[in-house]
Amino acid sequence: MIILAVDETKTAKEVIEKTQKILDNISSELRPCEYDQNGEPIGNDACNWDDLGISMTLTGPVPITNAVTEFSFKLFWQIFPLAIVLVALGLFVFHSDVLQTGSWRPVQGFKVVVIAGLPTLCSVFWTLGIMGYSGYEVTMTVIIVGPILLALGVSYGLHITNRYAEETGTKDEKIRQSLASTGRAVFLSAVTTVIGFISLTFTPMKPIETVGIALSGGIVIVYFLTMAMVPNLTLLLDLRKPKHPPLPVFEKVVQVPIKWSKGVIAIFMVMIFISGFWGQENVEENIDLLGMAPEDEPSVVTMKEYSRDFNAGQVGMVLIKGDISGDAPVEEDEPVEKLLGLSDLENEINTIDETNAVSIVFLMKSVGVGGNVSGTPLWNLTDNPLVPEDIKDALEPYINRQFSEDVTFWEVLTAPRANGTESVVAERFLLNVFYSSLTDETRGLFISDDYSRNLIYVDMPFVPVAETSEAVSLVNEYASRDYQGNIYAGDLTGVAATAIAVNELIVGSQWSSLGFAVILTLMTLAIVFKDIRFSIWTTSPVIATVALQWLVMWQMDVSLSLVTVMIGSILVGVGVDFSIHISNRIRELGGGIEAIRTSTVSTGMSLFEAATVTTLGMVTAYQIPIPEIKPFITVIIILLWIAAASALILLPAIFVLLEEIGIGSTGGTSSMARKLGLGKVSSRGDIDVVDATLIPDRGDAW
């Protein structure tokens, strides 16, 4: 193993290219195949690294980060085309009337694919192009932007085309009516989706922030291109999709919340309680840095082997303040006393499981007294004419014939202190000799140029963050203690400490970003609907779905990581679409039990189609060879269908319960009866109430 210190003024790519070039040159260089015990070549055969079975792979945070960035570009073009094919296939099957009537209308299916798919495809390329032009750093999490935008964007066009098929009249009249009704719901969906995604930018993690910017900006582009292109494509392609009655399965499903609204709400409440009480407690808060890198990359494979075989990989440093040179100020503690304190701290850290500490003291304990400047053994310094006589006398207790040749420099330096015969002059002289015998690069790894600061390198393997956190806490505890020489030790910094900090940021930021998404979504819907209560009812299924994520993650054994922390905000953005379309339809029909039934049944097929197409777009992310991505996609897909089920079952149950208790959800007969003080009587059916009609800008009228 060779450890490289990286110059932070150079880019990662530059460092990697130069280092790899050196390795390639060395590996191809011919040299003798065998040497004798004196280092002399045997025979005339010449070999390179391949002949000798030697290989060397660059690994560590810098090569892995660079590999992730380069791999992202290559992987996107493997994943995104598959997403296009699956989404197009899903659209084609749904709109060729195979499921609705059993008939075969391929031309109609192809037209819908173009109408709903082309604007979204353009939007994805616009989004990625703007990101590239703006100079945003590409990370592995950005790969999921393409499939998510493609899946969500297609649903906007679907809602418009499906509503177009339901309307009657001329083509112009049908498209105007579709945009006037569903267009409003699509706008609300886009706004609330942007809110959900933009909340990710509040996370103090660059990869998550980039995903939030890309998704929220992408949805804005999707909305504008959808509203600009879908109506024109619908008219240009002359879409003549016949109107079909809702599938019987949706009528049967909707009967459940209408007949047993209290039971449905109770079931969801119990599940939410289990999720919040047991689920959240059992979800592990863990971040695996290697889990965010491609599994098959050589640098990643090598790092895993290095971590396993050497109990290392997460390199950290503890900064020690105190002059340890032979020229340290006399008013301070002696440098050897500081080194003894440094040695004690190093020994304490080495008692931690799977943790290794190395400092300049370790080097002193590893170096024998036989090698130094000019190759003169240290025990011959007393015979060296260049050494002053007073120094020779002081060195006598340290360098005498009782030491064997394999004694270490540390033993020579500290042995006299054991019997009280130490000499400050001799100790300082020996330290200067030792430091002079080191190369500048070696000394610079451990000690600053002015010798006032030095480092203890602390290495530990890549283990779950909970175990890493325990080790880091112990290191910091040992560093905070008092040691000989009054050395000052700071907290551990480096890969492990950064992983802990990132984990804490993730846990804290998920609540702030999720809270922002939910509150701003409620405010937006309240402003548009001009009714805060209706906004709360509409958002309730989404909140329930987000609350159930802990239950799903618990049962799927998925930990909270750098990727899964985005689930809540993404669900708010995706799931609220389902509820908005149903709530908007109920409001258009004026409210009431029959409006709830009609709206849910008619919108059910569109929601099922949108959920299916979104799933088809997202399953392509399973092809990403990153361990952390797969459980994230699994949980998102499961919760996506829970969000759809919540909109089709929980939302109608809430509206029905409101009607039954006389509160009502919106306008219509119930609203007018409440205004007359007959709400509860009306809900029992004791009086005959005529349906109310909604007149624009005039409110409710009989």
Rounded to 5 degrees, φ, ψ at 668 are 95, -160
Residue 579 Cα distances to 29, 198, 250, 641, 650, angstroms: 68, 20, 16, 13, 10
Beta strand 313-321 pairing with 488-489: antiparallel
Query: Which structure tokens are listed for 685?
Result: 């059916």
Contact predicate 156/187, CB 8 Å: no
* Enclosing H/E stretch for 226: helix 206-236
Residue whose token pair is 């054994």: 557
Helices (H), 548-667: 549-555, 567-588, 593-619, 629-645, 651-660
| End-to-end alpha carbon distance in the chain | 85
Contact predicate 447/324, CB 8 Å: yes
Between the CA atoms of 489, 308, 57 and 503, what dihedral angle is there, to the nearest 10 degrees? -50
Contact predicate 208/562, CB 8 Å: yes
C-alpha span between 65 and 68 (Å, rounded): 5
Rounded to 5 degrees, φ, ψ at 35 are -130, 150
Residue whose token pair is 């430091």: 435
Cβ neighbours of residue 48 closer than 8 Å, sequence gap 6 or more: 27, 28, 29, 30, 31
Contact predicate 459/314, CB 8 Å: yes
Domains with residue ranges and CATH for the chain: 12-56 (no CATH), 62-239+247-293+500-666 (1.20.1640.10), 323-486 (no CATH), 667-702 (no CATH)
C-alpha span between 158 and 87 (Å, rounded): 12
Cβ neighbours of residue 60 closer than 8 Å, sequence gap 6 or more: 4, 299, 303
Structure confidence at residue 528 (pLDDT): 78
Rounded to 5 degrees, φ, ψ at 521 are -65, -45
Cβ neighbours of residue 43 closer than 8 Å, sequence gap 6 or more: 32, 33, 34
Rounded to 5 degrees, φ, ψ at 562 are -60, -25
Q: Which of 289, 340, 659, 320 is nearest to 492 (CA)?
A: 320
Residue 370 Cα distances to 218, 380, 437, angstroms: 68, 9, 11
Q: Is 284 helix (H, G, I), strand (E, B) or coil?
A: coil
- Give the Cβ contact number of residue 291 at 10 Å: 20
Q: Which of 317, 357, 360, 355 is nearest to 338 (CA)?
A: 360
Rounded to 5 degrees, φ, ψ at 19 are -65, -45
pLDDT along the chain (702 residues), means of 10: 62 71 78 76 79 72 64 71 87 78 80 88 88 70 74 79 78 83 79 81 72 86 90 84 73 87 92 88 70 65 70 83 84 85 92 89 79 46 58 61 64 78 80 85 86 89 78 91 88 82 71 80 83 86 88 85 72 78 80 83 79 84 76 86 89 88 59 47 44 42 39
Let me know if 22 is exposed, middle or buried by CB neighbors in 10 A (0-12, 13-18, 19+): exposed
Structure confidence at residue 367 (pLDDT): 78
- Give the Cβ contact number of residue 51 at 10 Å: 12
C-alpha span between 500 and 484 (Å, rounded): 30
Structure confidence at residue 3 (pLDDT): 61
Structure confidence at residue 266 (pLDDT): 93
Query: Which structure tokens are listed for 435?
Result: 């430091």
C-alpha span between 695 and 702 (Å, rounded): 10
* Enclosing H/E stretch for 536: helix 532-547
Residue whose token pair is 């995903």: 211
Prediction pTM value: 0.69
Residue 285 Cα distances to 281, 466, 505, 517, angstroms: 10, 8, 11, 22
Between the CA atoms of 572, 575, 576 and 582, what dihedral angle is there, to the nearest 10 degrees? -170
